[in-house]
Structure 1
Amino acid sequence: MAGESFFHEVVGLLPQQNYHDGVLFPIVLSPNPKIAKAVQLTEAIKTNRAWLDSLLHQSGAVLFRGFHVSSASDFNDVVESSGYEDFSYGVGGAGSRTKVVGRVYTANEAPPDQDIPFHNEMSHAPVFPSKLFFFCEVEPGSGGETCIAPSHVIYEKMKEKHPNFVIEMEEKGLISTRVLGDEYDPSSPIGRSWKETFMTDNKTVAEERAANLGMKLEWVEGGVRVMIGPKPGFKYDELRKRKVWFNGVAGRIKDKLNDDPSKGAMFGDGKPLPDDVSSDCRKILDEECFTLQWRKGDVLLLDNLAVQHARRPLIMPPRRVLASFCK
């Protein structure tokens, strides 16, 4: 069977956005109903890799819905079928995750009643995954949606709203800070301990590994303060020839050791950000995002440079979403 005839593009059933040239965000693909036999997502992806890459390049997000993907093992097969090289979620990652099978991890294990702010995966690190896969193994009862937003649109909207801030951010870069405890904190979205984050219980080794990632450690009671940067608060997307928002300015995570989330980001010279920048950024992200109501079997593919993602609080359990990361 030739090319994209395996797929049927779904239009109009979900509140997709249309940002440029008629390209939808996200692009939604389901099995082609004209094919008599059941369409296997792994086979369809293998046969259509170049075409799917072109869709991802256009939109930044592709949702596969209606395919028979029911387990972590099935999901791992889907990831493998993409041909994308594995990105191991190891040293430096902030989210708490557990490896499930093969290249598959749990999504962030933060308490389900908390939201996870918009972010690009591992934007704080010098090396980050280029593509992300998510899979809904257990459909949420209510809440627990995953929200996605196009990074280039966020950059343009923030430039319109706060032109002076964006200029200063580009000139000075940003410093981000977070506090990691001595032990895992299950109550926080960034609850990994410094031992888990740097994969050692030796402070000297942790400092060396942090330095390799462009991080500086300051030991405090009960843990360590991690300072990252200065780093650019944006990236230039070489493939699409545009600037994209690539930072954690919108994130506000309060936990036991870091009770002032406003200090989570500052200019590269140590100057605080304007008071309204973070709140305005969150408003823009909320206005521009697509909110995915998960269905069992959904597989979501994101370009990590082009798209930020977030999680809304779960209202009615259960919910189980798995993740995989690609170079």
Structure 2
Amino acid sequence: MSTESLFIPVKLPQQKHYNNGITFPAVLSPNPEKLSNNTVPFSSVLQAIKSSAAALESLLSETGAILFKGFPVVSASDFNDVVEAFGFLELPYVGGAAPRSNVVGRVFTANESPPDQKIPFHHEMAQVPEFPAKLFFFCEVEPGSGGETPIVLSHIIYERMKDKYPDFVEKLEDTGLIYTRVLGEDDDPSSPIGRGWKSTFLTKDKSVAEERAAKLGMKLEWMEDSVKTIMGPIPAIKYDKERQRKIWFNSMVAAYTGWKDARNDPVKAVTFGDGQALPAHIIYDCLRILDEESVAIPWQKGDVLLLDNLAVLHSRRSFEPPRRVLASLCK
């Protein structure tokens, strides 16, 4: 079976359409002309990804996000094969806050925090210097209800914030941000930021943890049964060289509104780079703008979402179980 033109664009009501002709996100489904008995062999999907790699990367660069719907991706192993087919290098999950478990190969669970908790908008691992360039998500079990992964274009948020709060954005650009988080020894699955220091730094040895933290530019302050991590000042606004535009590349809203558990106070979790407190009313207005500009397409089993982590922020809505969304991080 020919894999040429296996992918065709489709329209969904949730997509946003911008004046520059971009539709966000791009949504691709199997070409009906390439189906046999209304199906497409999984092996043909992998071949099509490999043969269309340059075109798919170009589309990702143009739109920031591609949702693949209707393809026979059934299991975590299938998803791992899809990720491998793209040929992106794997990025180890070192320094991230979310509790995750390895499932198979390069595939991890997405944030395992409780279903009643929202996960605020963020660029993946924006609070550390080494972050993934691309993210994959895969819906293995679709939610009972809710559980969407809203996405939003980062440069749109920068432009709106710069227009409404120029002084605030100027200070962000001047000072950056400092992120502070207290980690227990082991993972706390009841917390959206409950990753313990052992899994954060992939070691049980405190001296090794300190070495790995230092490579990230992170300071550690050990306490009786936990450790305080201090990252920054680190830029809150980046320049996307490929697209030649500034982006809202930070975890400010996520930290300020969501880094809360028995050990952490979200208001203290993130400050300006000079240590000054952030203005709450601006943070919550930024959250409103993020919601307003976002796209939330309901998950269906087999969906694969590919994000350019420099171009797009993502979040997670609360949900009624079951729901199982898997992830993979790439350089």
TM category (shorter chain) comes to: over 0.9
Counterpart position of 2:260 = 254
Give the superposition deviation at 1:36: 4.0
Give the superposition deviation at 1:78: 0.7
| Count of equivalent residues | 323
In structure 1, distance between residues paired with 2:89 and 2:2: 25
> How high is the TM-score relative to the length of structure 2?
0.94
Give the partner amino acid of 1:93: G
Give the partner amino acid of 1:53: E
User: Which structure dedicates a bigger proportion of its chain to strand?
Assistant: 1
> How high is the TM-score relative to the length of structure 1?
0.95
In structure 2, distance between residues paired with 1:35 and 1:204: 56
Counterpart position of 1:216 = 219
- 1:197-252 per-residue CA deviation (whole Å, 9 max, x = no partner) reads 12223333322221110111122343122111001101110100001011111112
Counterpart position of 2:272 = 267
In structure 1, distance between residues paired with 2:247 and 2:18: 14
CA RMSD, aligned part only? 1.5
Counterpart position of 1:15 = 14
* Aligned match for 1:70, one of 54, 74, 80: 74
- 1:232-282 per-residue CA deviation (whole Å, 9 max, x = no partner) reads 101110100001011111112210011x21122111111111221210111
In structure 2, distance between residues paired with 1:273 and 1:256: 22
Give the superposition deviation at 1:2: 7.7
Give yes or no for contact 2:108–2:326 (8 Å, CA) kept in 1.
Answer: yes
Give the superposition deviation at 1:4: 6.0
In structure 2, distance between residues paired with 1:36 and 1:130: 33
1:82 and 2:86 matched? yes
1:115 and 2:104 matched? no
Within 5 A, what are the aligned runs for 1:279-294? 279-294=284-299
Percent identity between the two aligned chains:
61
Give the superposition deviation at 1:44: 1.9
Give the superposition deviation at 1:79: 0.6
* Aligned match for 1:143, one of 142, 146, 153: 146
Give yes or no for contact 1:4–1:51 (8 Å, CA) kept in 2.
Answer: no
In structure 2, distance between residues paired with 1:70 and 1:3: 19
Give the partner amino acid of 1:69: V
Alignment gaps of 5+ in structure 2: none
Give yes or no for contact 1:155–1:243 (8 Å, CA) kept in 2.
Answer: yes
Alignment gaps of 5+ in structure 1: none
* Aligned match for 2:59, one of 44, 55, 61: 55
Counterpart position of 1:313 = 318
Give the superposition deviation at 1:3: 7.7
Give the partner amino acid of 1:18: H
Give yes or no for contact 2:100–2:110 (8 Å, CA) kept in 1.
Answer: yes
